[in-house]
Structure 1
Amino acid sequence: MAVEINKGPLLGMRHVQTLLIFLNITCLYIGRLNVGVSVVAMTNAESTNPNFPEYDWSLAQKSYIISSFFWGYVFTQFLGGYLCKRYGAKSVMFWGSFASAVSSALTPLFIGFGGWQAYCGIRVLMGFAQGLIFPCIHQHLARWSPPAERNRLGALSHTGIECGNVCAMFLSGMIAKSSIGWPGISYVSAGVAFVWCIFWFIFAANNAVESRFIGETELHYIESSLKHNEDYHKTVIPIPWKAILTSAPFLALLVARSAESWGLSTLQAQIPTYMNGVLGMDMKSNAFFSALPFLAMWLMSYVYLIAADVLLAGNRLSLTALRKTFNSLAFWIPCVTLIGIGFLDQEQKNLAIALMTISVGVNSGATIGTSLNTIDLSPNHASILMGIVNTAANVVPIVTPLIVGIIVEEDSNRSEWQIVFIIASVIFLFGNLVFIIFGSAVSQPWDAEDFLKSKEPELAIKPTILEAAKNDDELAKDTLQSVD
């Protein structure tokens, strides 16, 4: 007979941390992705509020603007992982989010002074700030989530990605058409981020032990389930770099996340331009239909979440099998639909929108498929793993807009967009195949707190043998001298 565990209140502080992370990711993605709509609004006054400046930027210049965020983002992933282990997630996430909000608030001012080059510059600064945060998010989830609830809490918090996508696409378009025009997109994005910083400062804690609001029952439930030493929260565990970088499951995750980043960044950044150029939609309808695929993604993320809970609770699938199954759905269905989109034009815009909605909607399964896999492989080093994975995965969004800028010389040319979508499909196919073969959701041996210490005796064997041989030689010499 199973013993019922007292987990504390139905909604405890671990759920508050999950909600805060959800809201944080939402705010980050609003600031990160509103550029796709903003660039269209700034360069096409007829489709937005005409009372604000219009800029004549080329497709190549717009590609630089879209990709510039990631120029800064990739350089602070490792730093974010290190600072999180050193100072805790609360401080690093607060200052990273605050700096991102400041960058967003200053964006219209920078554009007014320096045009598209200044726009790129402030986006790079925003990328620097946001790059610190995601490694901390995974470390924070590992410290607050009991293993039995880790998949659920992690997936719930990551639905902020889809929520942020919807807000960035839909609300940005509405704001651009409003009285505050395209500058209002940056101001609203900054405002919601500043409000989040206030709530995070009050309610967040690096771990359950440090929380001012947690009850004793919930504290005991979380800490006992994690099964670590009493001094765990005060100890900085050495990082087994060699073991991490030669781990097949980790390298498979790295490839899969980079492949997903390619396909999804193509859709996220290019949907407004594609719908405006190929499908001939104005900004108002563009905003709604650009957001529609990500609304489907948001809703589908909860379908995946419920299905995962049912499958895991009934022991129908192991966690590894679950991750690979959901990731296959998230990667391989878009392989087909993306190619189909490239063969449609204005007369078939409804079908194009439907296929795009399916592509992005089913891709939400990647959250359960690969996004949380860093915590599976190593709860103790989740921030470091996420720093490595996010660095590699976010080099990709630097490249994809630039490649689109090279391939698509005229944004209304359907055949050029076909090439873009076929490339994304092939990469999706390959990335998931690698994950199926080599991926895992089992905690790795190098996650152990004493992993590096356990290697020290092996390294000490050779010196011990040499010392013993030396002692034997000295004993033989003494024996010969005594005989003489």
Structure 2
Amino acid sequence: MTAETNTGPMIGQRHLQTFLLFLSIVVNYMAKFNAGVAVVAMTNAENTNPNFPEYDWNEMERSYILSSFFWGYILTQFMGGWLCRRYGARITMFVSTIGSALLVVLIPWCVSWGGWQAYCAIRMSMGLFQGFLFPCIHAHLANWCPVKERNRLGALANTGIDCGTLVAMFASGLLAASSIGWPGIFYVSCGVGVLWCIVWWIFGANQPRESKFIGEAELNYIETSINSSRKAEEAELKATGPIPVPWKAIWTSVPFWALMVTRCCQSWGYSTLQTEMPAYMNGVLLMDMKSNALYSALPYLTSWVMAFVYLIIADILLTRGIMSITGIRKSVNSIAFFVPAAALIGVSFLDNTQKTLAVVLMCANVGINAGSTIGSTINTIDLSPNHAGILMGIVNTASNIVPILTPLLVGIIVKDDHDREQWQIVFIISAVIFCVGNIVYVAFGKMVNQPWDAPDFMDKQRSSNLQEVGHSKALEAQGSEKVEEAKRNESEGIKDN
């Protein structure tokens, strides 16, 4: 019989840390995605609270505002990992969140004198701060999660993405229509961010041993699990040495490019809905801000629920041997891309007399697209467990460039918010991109370790290159000998004559 492991209390500090990470995503996503509702409220006071200023921004200027966050966000992805490694997740996440929270509260004041340009500058600065967040979350989970609980706790923390978007859409609409008007969106976003920072500063700890609240049993359980895993990794590292990154092999890998194209296409369709849904529902479906808030949030509630549904179904299919990992990934990704593509086209042909059907199709779009996480997001681990972090950094940076472009395209195409035909072009383009992305993934994507994942890949490549160089030099030397011999024969022939 094996001794039962003492894991500490049923709800311990590791669960609290996971919950704090979940809340960090929620409060940062509130600040990140409240702009979709805010710009509608700030440019159309009739549907919100008319007691606050209204700005005459055209669609292109609104698009710059929605896009500007990602101008800064893509610049600090890799820096976040470096700061977390140097200073720890506790201080880095604190700085990331407090910086974003204090900037968002400046918007009502700065916009009054700086216009949409000031709004863009603030959102770009917010993006710079929030770029630190996710590298810290992943590092913090690695330090706190026992190996057997890592997937579960990691998945729970990351559900903050859908919950944060849901809260941003819903709360922002209610606040804009309330007595505090659209400025209240920014005050509340700042307030919850600062509140999280206070709680994080009290309870957050880089390592379990640094926590003032952890019990001895839970500490031993976490450290034993993580240390045994790290000892195995260190033994392997000692045997093989540091694994160099095969940059050339990665950048010339067809499956890797298939994954990157797929993730960029998914980001295109998803970001179109995230940033433009409130404007579409207000302009074409003629919804007031309160109903707009509710119906804008419903798709993300669906997505939050569907993320767990996909996870359970995929686990059953894999553990029971019903489908291979390749079959699961490609099938789920096809559903997550093709169905939303059809739903997007369907939404574009509806008008204000078909609001219920429009909301149902939007829920289907965002909810079913939640399968893309299982379908393609974690494909980096399939391709290369040894270099998954590098691959994720590249893919995540590329896919976050896309949300810069989608609002700008909407600004070019949609000149009148109420013109359904202009919105049809936007949604049809997104639907086509969804389809192209999945076709590329199904045709060229792979769910097996690539040759360049092997620890000795670079050594074998160098050996092969040396052999080729040696063979080439041998052939060159042999050719030189033949030329010399021909010259000698020619010289002897001349002498004989």
Compute the TM-score of the two structures, normalised by the length of structure 1.
0.85
Residue 267 of structure 2 aligns to which amino acid in structure 1? S
Tell me which of 361, 372, 379 is aligned to 2:367: 361
- 1:186 equivalent in structure 2: 186
Q: Is the 8 A contact 2:7 2:221 kept in 1?
A: yes
- 1:407 equivalent in structure 2: 413
- 2:493 equivalent in structure 1: none
Higher mean C-alpha displacement, 257-266 vs 374-383:
374-383
Higher mean C-alpha displacement, 397-406 vs 247-256:
247-256
Where in structure 2 are the equivalents of 1:6-405 lying within 5 Å?
6=5, 8-9=7-8, 10-141=10-141, 149-206=149-206, 213=214, 214-225=218-229, 227-229=232-234, 239-375=245-381, 377=383, 381-405=387-411
Identity across the alignment (%): 56
Distance 2:285 2:374 in 1: 33
Distance 1:389 1:124 in 2: 21
TM-superposed CA distance for 1:27, in Å, is 1.7
- 2:479 equivalent in structure 1: none
CA deviations 1:409-430 (Å, max 9, x no partner) are 1111111111111111111112
TM-superposed CA distance for 1:404, in Å, is 0.9
Distance 1:78 1:167 in 2: 28
Q: Is the 8 A contact 1:97 1:197 kept in 2?
A: yes
Q: Provide closer, same or farther for how the CA distance between residues 384 and 418 of structure 1 changes in structure 2, counting only shifts above 3 A.
A: same
Q: Provide closer, same or farther for how the CA distance between residues 251 and 79 of structure 1 changes in structure 2, counting only shifts above 3 A.
A: farther
TM-superposed CA distance for 1:452, in Å, is 5.8
Where does structure 2 lack aligned partners over 5 or more consecutive residues?
473-497
Distance 2:465 2:206 in 1: 35
Distance 2:198 2:382 in 1: 31
Higher mean C-alpha displacement, 240-249 vs 452-461:
452-461
Residue 180 of structure 1 aligns to which amino acid in structure 2? I
Residue 361 of structure 1 aligns to which amino acid in structure 2? G
**Secondary structure class of the residue paired with 1:228:** helix
Q: Provide closer, same or farther for how the CA distance between residues 463 and 327 of structure 1 changes in structure 2, counting only shifts above 3 A.
A: closer
Higher mean C-alpha displacement, 252-261 vs 116-125:
252-261
CA deviations 1:282-332 (Å, max 9, x no partner) are 111111111111111112222223323333443444444433332222211
Q: Is the 8 A contact 2:146 2:221 kept in 1?
A: no
Highest CA radius of gyration, 1 or 2?
Answer: 2
Q: Is the 8 A contact 2:72 2:124 kept in 1?
A: yes
Distance 1:355 1:394 in 2: 25
Distance 1:424 1:7 in 2: 51
Q: Is the 8 A contact 1:152 1:309 kept in 2?
A: no
CA deviations 1:381-412 (Å, max 9, x no partner) are 55443332222111111111111111111111
Q: Is the 8 A contact 1:135 1:382 kept in 2?
A: no
Where does structure 1 lack aligned partners over 5 or more consecutive residues?
467-484
Q: Provide closer, same or farther for how the CA distance between residues 135 and 37 of structure 1 changes in structure 2, counting only shifts above 3 A.
A: same
Question: Alpha carbon RMSD of aligned pairs, Å?
Answer: 3.4
Q: Is the 8 A contact 2:22 2:159 kept in 1?
A: yes
Q: Provide closer, same or farther for how the CA distance between residues 23 and 436 of structure 1 changes in structure 2, counting only shifts above 3 A.
A: farther
Q: Is the 8 A contact 1:81 1:384 kept in 2?
A: no
TM-superposed CA distance for 1:217, in Å, is 2.1
Residue 378 of structure 2 aligns to which amino acid in structure 1? L
Distance 1:245 1:4 in 2: 48
